[in-house]
Amino acid sequence: MERKTIYRNAIRMLLCGLIFFAVTMPFRELFSLMPVTEVRPASALPPAFGLLFGVWGALGTALGNLTADIISGYSPWLCVTGFAAQFLYGYIPFKLWYALGSQKEEQDFPKLDTARHVVKYLFIVAIDSLMVAGLLGFLMEGFGISQFLSSTTFVLLLNNFDFCILLGMPVIILVSVTGISVDVQKEKNHSQTGLLAAWAGILLLCAFALTEALRPGLLSVWPCAAAAFLFFFAAAIWSPSGQTLKERKGRHPLSMNEKIILIFLILGIIAGAIAGNAAYHGFFAQGAAAVDLWNRVYSYVAISLNLFFLISLLFLWYMETNITVPLASLSDVTRYYAEDRSQAINHDRVIETCTPLGKKKTEVGNLARSFVKMVSDLETYMENLTKVTAEKERIGAELDVATHIQASMLPCIFPPFPDRTEFDLSASMAPAKEVGGDFYDFFLVDEDHLAVVIADVSGKGVPAALFMVIAKTLIKDQTQTGKSAAEVFDEVNEQLCESNDEGLFVTAWLGILEISTGHMEFVNAGHNPPVICSRDGEFAYLKMRPGFVLAGMEGMHYRMGTFDFHPGDILYLYTDGVTEATNLREELYGEDRLKRILDENKQVAPAELIERVKMDVDAFAGQAPQFDDITMLALKILQQTSNRLKPGC
């Protein structure tokens, strides 16, 4: 054994002895009615400490009793035999507990958490109390203190048994939950020799008691006492094969059963105190002698307590069968199901645990059935979710490809015409989803004409993106034929209306700039008005009544407008995603704020102008999500090649 373990056990032995001594001495002084004190709460400690700490607990209480006997002035022979009896009283329960345990149990240390363990404990302390009462009866008759069969022996039996309930059970429960105890690791080939020796000692005591009752004085006390001591010492020192004493570590909270047991113990103490007080006053009024008075009170209280604990034990068994153990099983399986992510959840284990509980016709049964249904439904949901997630990932990958395809369809190289020094142009599009319905376009119709387009398809997502591709292609194709802006929209509107089963429509603005003169003709199909800035002025919205949206109605004819650009003038086109951007307070960005940011940056290049507007929109929206595509295009006239320029705009 390691030195650290020896030191720890020595400390436990010393503490057990000190606690026993501190509890037993006051009662020897207060209730010294006879040489062997009858009221002995400390009699609960040897079995309790023996169960918890094995030989060290039993030896500690025996040493505490020996010290108390010496201080009380008992004879050396009585002190020695009392020490031996006290050691057996503490150590026999430890041996019996593990001898009576099932080999299949992984943990069978003294933990009073079930009705079976409580019954096992009560059986062991009943046997132990009978044993020590018999041994003390032998000693009292041998030393001439009392007869073997007397009220004193009976009261000793009741004292030991009842205090093992009232005080021993709380000690075992409260100490065992701390993890400060020992456990026995059992293996195969468990021997019953020690248990047989203990039973032989009990039978010898019973045989002597029966003989003494029928023929007093027939048998000599000392040979029978010596034989009984030998049997009990054989049971104590015999180490059954396959048992290994080990430290039990780790704390655990009080179980529901343990809490109920403690509650009944407290109620039992209260009931015993009330019954004892009533019995004391009743027998005292009858003028009973001191010893006889205490014997009567003790018997009355003990019988009341035993009846109370019998009823409590039946109630505990009912609670354990129908409430506490099923709830504990449900608690374990739900905790495993909710918290254990170290491996895949075993749904069969959950269902197998809960199905037997679901057969109970109680609230626990309803809870178990509901949990089983929830697990089954959740398992089905998880399978469906896995499939949906896989499908969503596939669609997401396809949308990512569509995003790149859409981005590649829009002009994205700036400056777009490096060899043209007459103008500077830039544009951007930020979709609200993976793909959007907004688009912009610009292209040279011929060497002297530049077309710029901005449009917004109704709706979002893939349908709008597909319709956008069609509209963009048609506008570009019709514009490159040399038609006027109005004629282009007339033709595009007819073509879009032909196959528009989904009822989509497009707001669009098209401008065709004559580069040499700065003259632009434009047409507006329900789109936001552009913003134009002269070289020495401020930005202003181009107020002109827009036409009807494209693809909205067949047979529409669009009106064309014109204006002239001069060097330094800027044309800014945008979609409603800019002016209708919303912050968390549900406020719109608005046209006034757009004009202000444009005026503050009118001297910068088109690319930087677009970037600053986008930054201002983002700052305004903050954490609010983007609900619409944001598309912008800026065109700045740098110079003109014609002599037919008009001053101003």
Distance between CA atoms of residues 420 and 113, nearest Å: 91
Q: 119-128, 162-171, 596-605 — which one is most confidently predicted on average?
A: 596-605
Measured CA distances, 57 to 94, 97, 230, 242 (Å):
10, 15, 21, 22
Q: Which residue has the tokens 């439904």?
A: 377
Arithmetic mean of pLDDT, 110-120: 79
Q: Which H/E stretch holds residue 346?
A: none
- Within 10 Å of residue 390's Cβ, how many Cβ atoms? 10
d(C-alpha 83, C-alpha 64), whole Å: 9
H-helix or E-strand spanning residue 178: none
Strand order in the sheet with 506-514: 438-446, 449-457, 506-514, 519-525, 560-564
User: Which residues make Cβ contacts (< 8 Å) with residue 96, sequence separation at least 6?
Assistant: 124, 127, 128, 195, 198
Q: Which residue has the tokens 């901005």?
A: 454
Confidence of residue 645 (pLDDT cuts 50, 70, 90): very low
Give the pairing type, strands 506-514 and 519-525: antiparallel
Burial class from Cβ neighbours inside 10 Å (0-12, 13-18, 19+) for residue 377 reads exposed
Residue 49's closest CA among 85, 93, 8? Answer: 93
Q: Highest mean pLDDT: which of 79-88, 187-196, 290-299, 618-627?
A: 618-627
Instruction: Give the chain's radius of gyration (CA, Å).
Output: 49
Lowest-pLDDT range of 107-121, 144-158, 208-222, 620-634 = 208-222
Q: Which two tokens stand for residue 424?
A: 């500077």
d(C-alpha 105, C-alpha 109), whole Å = 10
Q: What does the mean pLDDT of the chain come to?
A: 78
**What pLDDT shows up at residue 239?**
52
Q: Is 586 helix (H, G, I), strand (E, B) or coil?
A: coil
pLDDT at residue 106, rounded to an integer: 47
CB 320 within 8 A of CB 328: no
pTM over 0.85: no
| Alpha carbon distance 537, 560 (integer Å) | 25
Q: Dihedral angle at the C-alpha atoms of 219, 222, 228, 233, nearest 10 degrees?
A: -170
Average pLDDT over residues 234-255: 58
List for the chain the helix, strand, coil content (%; round to 5): 60, 15, 30
Instruction: Report the distance separating Cα 489 and Cα 455, nearest Å.
Output: 12
Please name the residue that has the structure tokens 């005591």.
205
Residue of 193 and 28 predicted with greater confidence: 28
Give the tens place of pLDDT for each residue, 167-180: 888 888 877 777 66
Question: What's the CA gap between 57 and 63, in Å, rounded?
Answer: 10
Pick the more confident residue, 221 or 128. 128
Residues 6 or more apart from 11 whose CB is under 8 A from it?
none
Q: Which residue has the tokens 């704390």?
A: 251
Higher pLDDT, 430 or 510: 510
Summarised one tens digit per residue, pLDDT across range 258-312 is 777 777 777 777 776 677 677 666 666 665 555 566 666 767 777 777 777 777 7
- Taking every pair of Cα atoms in the chain, the longest distance, rounded to a whole number of angstroms, is 151
On the CB side of 575, how many CA atoms lie within 13 Å of its CA? Answer: 27
User: What number is the average pLDDT over the span 439-468?
Assistant: 89
pLDDT in tens, 560-578: 999 999 999 999 999 999 9
SS3 (DSSP) at 37: coil
